[in-house]
Structure 1
Amino acid sequence: MDTSESSTEPQPSAQPQPSAPVEAGPPRVGWRRWAMDTRPLRIPAYRRLWSSTIVTAVGSQLTAVAVPKQVYDITGSSAWVGAASLAGLLPLIVFALWGGAVADTMDRRKLLLITNIGIAVTSLLFWVQAVIGLDSVVVLMLLLAMQQAFWGLNAPARNASIARLVPAEQLPAANALGSTVMQTGQVVGPLLAGVLIPVIGLAELYLIDALALCVTVWAVYQLPKLPPLVGGATRRAGVREIVEGFRYLSLHKVLLLSFLADIIAMVFGMPRALFPQLAAQTYGSYGEGLALGLLFAAIPIGAVLGGLFSGTFSRARRHGWMVIGAVVAWGAAIAGFGLSANLWVAAAFLAVAGLADMVSMVFRGAILLSAATDEMRGRMQGVFTVVVAGGPRLADVLHGTAGSAFGPRTAVVGGGLLVVVVMLGLAAAVPALRRYRI
């Protein structure tokens, strides 16, 4: 439970039991104690939700590669690629915040069905425009905006549903399972796209994603109904309800601090905007292409390894300390990366950072699901979606500017050290996060 002194801090909310009894299973011995905790997969409803993620994690990355590739093929300009990426940011922010409010007012299973069908239709439209050779950047940007709007509506409902499907003590394990799949998709998806584009063409990547989303729709259809737990009058999902969500967040320190921890780590310590310059100038002797690919792949690879061995940490009960330690470890690893002149040492530091990020994701997600009441989980997940999507984009601007002014390695080291100092200072000044446990 939460042991902070503030009376406004939430107690971990009571979790509805899964529809079928969940057996404890045999004790984990030997190497099994270190491996991923798979207890949530014994719950049929969660297993269906998680299984659908395996397919879409790869499929969505095919589209994520295909859109910028098609934009570049049409324009020959990286500036247009960046503009197309930004075209999806505002719809994502707006609809994630609104989607969180919607997820608190209607059956989340129904909302997931509607939004997954919308995303699938969008992927199908991507395929159509590519097949007919429309070659319109404007159309691509509009489709991307529509896709991100549906995703913004989908993500809060999907994440908030987990706490209704698994017991509270298994939330870290469930988050580790989901995060590992998503991180694996970020590694496998782009590699698969690179192999498939010369063989089957760009358009078919969109079609594969659309077909994968059909699997997701079927899996969601198999879920139990997830109506709001709070009865009474029908609630709206408007501006007032969104504002109520922010007010709720401001009154509950542990939730606010979990968001601030991610903002600190991502804004000050995510140096991906400097990877091309570092690959060309610092690690160019290894081959610029190899260096760039390795730098981008190292963090997801570390996160996947962290997920595969999440049994080492997923049963921890001091969730606040786990977040603090993970963010500090992230900052230290990023600083180590900035100090590394050897490409392989640099990649190793980034992999350690990815592992730390996995730990942070697991326990920030668990705090969000356990500390927020069910009628607020959708809105909290909406804010979470905005933070996760917006933080790295702010980091791109900050690190790009700092790298130009002070040099890329100085910017990376300074950012990593700043993460460590600010996170430790925040943890010392406000005890709510470090005192939170379940």
Structure 2
Amino acid sequence: MKIIVLGAGVVGVTSAWYLAKAGHEVTVIERNDAVAQDTSFANAGQISPGYAAPWAAPGVPLKALKWMFEKHAPLIVSPRPELAKLTWLAQMLRNCTEARYAVNKGRMVRLAEYSRDCLIALREETGIAYDGRQQGTLQLFRTQKQVDGAAKDIDVLKERGVRFELLDRAGCVAAEPGLENARDRIAGGLRLPGDETGDCQIFTTRLAEMARALGVTFRFGTAIRRLEQSGGRITSVETSQGPMEADAFVVALGSPAPLLTRPLGVKLPIYPVKGYSITAPLVDPERAPQSTVMDESYKVAITRLGDRIRAGGMAELNGFSKTLVAKRQDTLTLSVEDLFGGAADQSRAQFWTGLRPMTPDGTPVIGRAGAANLFLNTGHGTLGWTMAAGSGQLLCDIVSGSASAIPAAEYGYERYLPSDRRPREEQLRPVTG
């Protein structure tokens, strides 16, 4: 079957890889001149299934109000009035209940764990290298209240059979010796020994090269304008290079996805949540993290990537703005230097921002929507790198009509529709070329 994948971030490229492995003829269309130039370019580097959790959680509304008055707030909401932002926030607040949090976190951990398994298999099959480390991740708590608050997440980890270690101060320093000079600021930590790290941009670039060897065609510098529909099917995608036809179309555009699907009646509840990162050269390996340390107080992930240290985090709700705000860099630098002072040369740090495509329930949207041959793989928020391989394989299974290793239905767009508008089972049959 001839398939067009729209978007060449890590989710689009992994989708193309698995579709090509399944025998499909795949073309990837991307407006940039290379893969992984937007959200996948300089993310925090975590592959952390155990930390997969929705932002919509009990207690978050009160925390958000408190954060608004903090100098180094992990959440920043622009005062600029915007209907899309207000609608998304209202939807998110409706998910801040114990019951919905448990359901959403269960879905996210299930996909993230599956994705990690898919990545391990892909790495073993191809030998792909991407400054990866398989040394676990550590969620660092500065207060006893944060330690106590980890209980509900630990319950989910136990339920899913995810390995974890609840550490005291000494245990955190033993796991990450670079924290020695910050031990007086540590109350404890939650370590997940099965988690990984790696450079998402390097991974995506190298996987794209392997995908080309399987016959995948990449059309760079090609703007995507609209999808043409007739008779309940997408017939072509209109681009800056003219119309392109295929048997099936996969939308993996991230934050811009709703702009493309809305004319088809598919109203994706995805909002662009702005995140920041700094990447600085390593100058003292003994003071550096071994893997990823998540500073819970500032919601900043600090990751060792080869001879570099990257810190990423924060959530800014400000539409599609990609303006670099200097005080966000100050927050990232503060977290790194407070915990791993002197490990990196901050005078040479590269400052970056990207837009994460967030759904109000935290779970990505994977599956068919709007037309018999239109498929979605988007809405991964801060976990695109963590969930990419599993999402690509799941999307491939759905498109190909194959049995999937995890329940596909719970990631579908249909969960946002009223029950009387959800498609009948006969409308969900696989597409044939």
Specify which structure has the bigger relative contact order, considering alpha-carbon pairs within 8 angstroms and separated by 6 or more residues: 1
Tell me if TM exceeds 0.5.
no
TM-score range, shorter chain: under 0.3
- Please identify which structure carries the higher strand content: 2
TM-score of the two chains, using structure 1 as the length reference: 0.24
- Please identify which structure carries the higher helix content: 1
